[in-house]
Amino acid sequence: YTAATPYTSLPAVLLIGPSGSGKTALLTLFERGPFYHNKDATNSDNAKPSVSTPVAETHTTQVPSAVELAVSSSSDPTSPATISSYRTDLDAAGAQAKKFLLVDTPGHPKLRGHALASLAQDTPTISVPPTPASSFNPSNSNETNQPSKIKAVLFLIDAAALADSDSPYLSTAAEHLHDALLALQRRHRARKGSRAPPAVPVLVAANKLDLFTALPAALVKSNLEAEISRIRRARSKGLLSSDRQDADGLDGDEDEADGWLGSYGSEKFSFKEMLEFDIEVEVLGGNVVGEGPGAEKWWRWIAERI
């Protein structure tokens, strides 16, 4: 690795979500993979993982940081249990690896714009600084200065913070998710010609399930759906009133439909509505530190979409 190493064009998985949801922690867990020891996480001094420089240094800036990861590209159905774990050392396993970048973005509301703008492109891409060859990540596949194509989005959310009904966490998080989904959806209306924009699936990862106060994934899902229903209703400012509908039903005006997430005019939002726009949304629970279901399901979700 040298300072002159250009940008990479590996496919990217974009990591977004509110501040404190555990994005940096997850990045570290996946980066360290087979070298990760959970005792690091239970020792409170190390609870905030220390990551090699680019993550720490760029964290509060607009510049996304990334780690290079690899999933097995083996389609052998007899081996996925071991091969498609982030704990598997792919080099040691001799598996054929598919490399990708996991791109961390700042969760702070004032710094979200960059990631959301990336998702709004017809073919979503993101430019990231070169990944350094660290001791955990000795190879470095930076080749060109092409931006990376975003193949999937991982929206990480703190399921314990969500349980506190007095905090604004649910509304802030739901708004963030709403905006990300709307950016992806808008590509469909904005497209030229009949070609559909590339599908970008979204995983809502309900984190911190090691904490007993955390909401289970099913409740994280229903709470987010209810809050997004409220957000899109509030944003439409009553423009869905009956006098704006003609004989065809919901015909409204183009702008209005453009800013409405999901099925136009539906009462209760459901993530399933996003399938109309070829956007798959799944909610899966897990945890980065502590005892719990862990992060394997998330890793597998990524592996299947890279």
End-to-end CA distance of the chain: 25
Candidates 27, 172, 30; CA nearest to 104 is 27
- Judged by beta carbon, residue 43 or residue 78, the one nearer ligand GTP is 43
- Judged by beta carbon, residue 74 or residue 172, the one nearer ligand GTP is 172
Give the phi and the psi of residue 14 in degrees, each rounded to 5. -90, 125
Candidates 152, 106, 144, 109; CA nearest to 127 is 144
Q: Minimal distance in Å, beta carbon 177 to ligand GTP?
A: 14
The CA-atom distances, in angstroms, between 184 and each of 97, 187, 191, 304 are: 28, 6, 11, 20
CA atoms of 117 and 36, how far apart (whole Å):
33
- Judged by beta carbon, residue 11 or residue 20, the one nearer ligand GTP is 20
- Judged by beta carbon, residue 54 or residue 252, the one nearer ligand GTP is 54
Task: Tell me how far apart the 2 most distant CA atoms of the chain are, in Å.
Answer: 66
Q: Minimal distance in Å, beta carbon 35 to ligand GTP?
A: 18
Q: Minimal distance in Å, beta carbon 265 to ligand GTP?
A: 34
Q: Minimal distance in Å, beta carbon 275 to ligand GTP?
A: 28
> Contact positions toward ligand GTP, by CB under 6 A?
17, 19-25, 47-48, 59, 106-107, 207-208, 210-211, 287-290
Q: Minimal distance in Å, beta carbon 236 to ligand GTP?
A: 29
- Judged by beta carbon, residue 20 or residue 129, the one nearer ligand GTP is 20
